[in-house]
Amino acid sequence: MGHALHRRQAPGRARLSEVERRVAIRPAARADAFGPISVAERSLTAERRQWIGLAVVALAAVAADQLTKHVVASSIALDSAVKLVGPFSIRHVQNSGIAFGLFSSATAVVIVLTVVAVAWMLVFFARSGARHPALPVALGLLIGGSVSNLVDRVRLGYVTDFLDLRWWPAFNLADTSIVVGVAVLLG
């Protein structure tokens, strides 16, 4: 036990309890032994396991999207559809814009904005990846969806959309990954 703990107590002051003595000699304890350790002392930077989680989710999103786009493009003629169930069908559409066909004549601008957005997400993740356990999944979905559509825009000049609900513009798995990623961030 520490030398200071065996000193004679001042009159009117109770002796330290066993718990107080253990806390007082704990190596990482604060000087007063009872104050909270600040949350600011905890590093929020992404660790290796968070980076691995982000990469696995992003790569899975890219692979699933690219595979489904390839299957649709190679098996369904452009502007043709295969009715599945209810209002849902698979319709082969080429979209040179972003959501709802916006900015269809500004492919270069969309490419630049997507690269900037992905870079920003990576920097944010590097600084805050340990903030919440769902962050690697959410940003992995956002980055994976963005990168997959970016690959199509750079390679083809358009994105293949195929999920059609009739009352909503056609979309793809990359778009779905982005929406689910945002939902996870907001949830």
Domain co-membership, 82 together with 123: yes
Query: Cβ(98)–Cβ(178) under 8 Å?
Result: no
Does 107 lie in the same domain as 154?
A: yes
Among 11-25, 34-48, 117-131, 133-147, name the one with the lowest average pLDDT. 11-25
Catalytic residue, from 65, 152, 161, 164: name it. 161
Q: Are 140 and 61 a contacting pair, CB within 8 Å? A: yes
One domain, residues 135 and 54: yes
pLDDT-based confidence at residue 183 (cuts at 50, 70, 90): very high
Residues 19 and 74 in one domain: no
39, two tokens = 């949350």
In this prediction, residue 31 has a pLDDT band, given cuts at 50, 70 and 90, of low
The percent of residues above 70 in pLDDT, for the chain, comes to 74
Do 80 and 65 have their domain in common? yes
Question: Same structural domain for residues 29 and 52?
Answer: no
Q: Are 142 and 184 in contact (CB under 8 A)?
A: no
175 annotated active-site = yes
Of 174, 152, 150, 170, nearest to 161 by C-alpha is: 170
Same domain, 23 and 114: no
> Backbone phi, then psi, for 91, in 5-degree steps?
-120, 125
Exactly one of 65, 152, 164, 175 is catalytic; name it: 175
pTM of this structure: 0.74
- CA–CA distance from 11 to each of 4, 15, 84 (Å)? 16, 10, 85
What does the block give as tokens for 41? Answer: 């002392």
Lowest mean pLDDT among 28-32, 96-100, 158-162: 28-32
Mean pLDDT of the chain: 84
**Whether residue 58 sits in one domain with residue 140:** yes
Report the range out of 28-32, 44-48, 172-176 with the highest average pLDDT. 172-176
Q: How many domains does the chain have?
A: 2
The rounded distance, in Å, linking the Cα atoms of 94 and 66 is: 14
| Same domain, residue pair 165 and 78 | yes
Domain limits for position 153: 48-186
What pLDDT is attached to residue 181? 97
**Nearest residue to 97 (alpha-carbon basis) of 86, 85, 105, 87:** 105
pLDDT > 70? residue 141:
yes
pLDDT at residue 34, rounded to an integer: 59
Closest CA to 90 of 73, 110, 105: 73
Statement to judge: residues 101 and 163 lie in one domain: yes
Kindly report the backbone phi and psi dihedral angles of residue 88, in degrees, each rounded to the nearest multiple of 5, phi listed first.
-90, 130
Verify that 80 and 168 share a domain, yes or no: yes
91 and 23 within one domain:
no
Residue 65 is among the residues annotated as catalytic for this protein:
no
